[in-house]
Chain A
């Protein structure tokens, strides 16, 4: 199970990457894409939308099921990855490259407080039967 050490995570299986410009990129983890299977549709939040932490803000749909994606922290959406409209399968082939949206977080401390890789590993392990 691939969980890059340089990213932050949520218990709802989003990964968060702190970018140099102070924004964060958000996607779903390897574990999440594997649970869902082949992706066929992504619905992104509107740029400029203000999100509260843990708010439903995007949807990924695989052949099998739809799943909500949650805002990892509070902040404003600054960009969405338009490539995923035509190629949602990028989430399967490269989950940590296929960012879904970028946010400007209200507080850098909120980002720092997200799960680290080791803690997220514990979350994933606890879900395995």
Chain B
């Protein structure tokens, strides 16, 4: 199978990237050292090629009402222009189709950003639902757009060095808010637990933008560090921490699901009918080793499973997200089976690190 490429493929190779097959995309895993890249983002800033993610525009009268019904989180929470909302999109059975971000631009336009591997099924689902509930809406996959994430404490300043014309419109953005600056759509969002921007722009311009950022000292960061950064920040990864076999409440996403209001949404009835028996917690390994996805967790309350595990460069310990029985409590010690040995891990409240610092207490 031929791998899909982003418009930055040649730039990655020119910058010494080690390329891997990431869900059918030829993507950079690192440009040398994954750990150095991780610290680079926590301490300064770095840039990520996220062109494989998909931008979708939902336009037309009634788009807010449609999203209010389509998504588990409530689109009514975002009322000021550019404001963003993180949500799960569920099947009627209450399982997770994808997690995504919606941006409220106008009452006739919401922008949606979805995961790469799920984009086609997401769009098909949205269109199917729109046909029934909001036939006058247009749902457009913006395949003409590219996306670069610039993350880290110095990220915004570096973007303004390259795009000074966007500074006035983006300087006062609060966290989780975007501005439409014509050619550039700039959002103060990300997947690292650091400050920064995600910039959407026409594909034709993205390579020049990438090199311009590099020229002002922004280093490229691979998918390897992207994963350790998001895991330290306690952010779920679709396909690992949740998928179509689990619901949002057992995936650490209860904070994004409003079951108390009158609002109906796809999946709500199933969530109410099936209260979760498991929950997502953080683990920090106390013994020596590395936690990895699918390792078995043994607790007094029963078995669980690690959904994502890695070595945390910030904590210099191994950390994980794990789905465990509801009775497991923060502060408990559980065992994780690694190569036939049971190693001790402490149950913690995540995130593990944010804004350059460890935030988990042991």
Residues of chain A touching chain B, judged by Cβ–Cβ distance below 8 Å, are 37-38, 40-41, 43, 59, 61, 63-64, 66, 85, 92
Contacts and interface: CB of A to CB of B under 8 A. Distances in A.
B265 interface: no
Interface residues of B, number: 16
A83 B68 CA distance: 57
Contacts of A40: 290, 311, 318
Nearest to A42: B288
Interface string B230-242: 0000000000000
Contacts of A61: 289-290, 311
Contact of B34 (A41, A43, A64, A85): A64
A38 B35 contact: yes
B224 A63 contact: yes
Nearest to B285: A41
A61 B290 CA distance: 7
Contacts, number: 36
Contacts of A63: 34-35, 224, 228, 310-311, 313
Give the 4 A-B CB pairs with smallest separation, nearest first.
Answer: A40-B311, A61-B290, A38-B35, A63-B311
Contact of B30 (A37, A41, A59): A37
Contact of B224 (A37, A85, A92): A37
A39 B271 CA distance: 42
A63, A66, A85 interface centre (most CB from chain B within 10 Å): A63
Interface in B175-230: 224, 228
17 contacts: A37-B30, A37-B224, A38-B33, A40-B290, A40-B311, A40-B318, A41-B289, A41-B311, A43-B289, A59-B339, A61-B289, A61-B290, A61-B311, A63-B311, A64-B29, A85-B288, A92-B33
A15 B270 CA distance: 57
Interface of B: 29-30, 33-35, 224, 228, 288-290, 292, 310-311, 313, 318, 339
A38 B339 contact: no
Contacts of B313: 63
Given A37-B34, A41-B311, A64 B289 contact: no
B145 to A, nearest CB: 30
A121 B313 CA distance: 33
A38 B35 CA distance: 7
Contact of B290 (A37, A41, A85, A92): A41
Contacts of B33: 37-38, 92
B288 A64 contact: no
B120 to A, nearest CB: 27
Nearest to A40: B311
A66 B29 contact: no
Given A38-B35, A41-B318, A63-B311, 7 more contacts: A40-B290, A40-B318, A59-B339, A63-B224, A63-B310, A64-B34, A66-B292
Contacts of B310: 63
B39 to A, nearest CB: 11
B334 to A, nearest CB: 20
A38 B34 contact: yes
Contacts of A43: 288-289
A75 B33 CA distance: 35
A17 to B, nearest CB: 26
A38 B29 CA distance: 12
Nearest to A38: B35
Contacts of B292: 66
A43 B288 CA distance: 9
Contacts of B35: 38, 63
A110 B290 CA distance: 34
A121 to B, nearest CB: 20
